[in-house]
Structure 1
């Protein structure tokens, strides 16, 4: 699938005035999980800058114990500090990786900015090693920009 084909459905979800923000985020999780075969876990973490933690928001995929992640810990925690995308081709090669499941082989995390502040991120796990391309990264940047409009 060409990821740009999902731009319109993403915008439609964002502009749906009958859903609250959390419902929109969950709808995006469902859309990405069902439309892209190698997006095996799709979720959002949101920052609490006061206590330097990320908190799990809507997600689709296997249950996770990682509902609160300190800034700096794991891939998500590193993105909270760096404010930069993080693509991990092979999670087993990462020293600061929080293992969610033995089935996860690669991960991508892209921050969401509102007024220049990193408010959270989209986190995607794949059961495929080296699953994510530059196209995925650019697409998820688009998704995060769209999401910023509901904040």
Structure 2
């Protein structure tokens, strides 16, 4: 499975202490977007200081206007409140969805925890309907654990 071959590559990127955190996060986005064909937009959002909002971090894919997302708004904003994975097989069926692109069909958002606190998330859009499986969730949880190790 592609995820097993990507895990060591994620660990290698995380271990590159000669690069900034943002450079490493961008490298992870590029790795995922380049190797998983149904990952069409890959990015990180992080809690914006003490505000109840998320701020866009490194990402790859189409440019987005959604650089700040209030807690509770859209899929990312809901994950900021629920602290739970959110897999959306069909974005058109979601009431509280912020459209980034008309080509997006599905989305997966996995929270990043540091010392038990939700500090951000990885957000992935797909132009393929219903592509995400439990394997995607487990792999992205692994990625988020790795990311948390360099945020602290």
TM-score between the two structures when normalised by the length of structure 2: 0.97
Number of paired residues? 151
**5+ residue gaps in structure 1?**
none
CA shift digits 1:23-48 (9 cap, x unpaired): 00000000000000000000000012
Question: Alpha-carbon deviation of 1:2?
Answer: 2.4
CA shift digits 1:87-130 (9 cap, x unpaired): 00000000000011100000000000000000000000000000
Distance in 2, matches of 1:46 and 1:87, equals 19
Q: Which residue of 2 aligns with 1:62?
A: 62
Distance in 2, matches of 1:99 and 1:49, equals 25
Helix, strand or coil: the match of 1:140? helix
47-56 vs 123-132, which moves further: 47-56
Q: Which residue of 1 aligns with 2:73?
A: 73
Structure 1 runs, 4 residues or longer, greater than 4 Å off: none
45-54 vs 95-104, which moves further: 45-54
RMSD of aligned C-alpha atoms? Answer: 0.8
Q: Which residue of 2 aligns with 1:34?
A: 34
CA shift digits 1:46-65 (9 cap, x unpaired): 01262200000000000000
Q: Which residue of 1 aligns with 2:104?
A: 104
41-50 vs 96-105, which moves further: 41-50
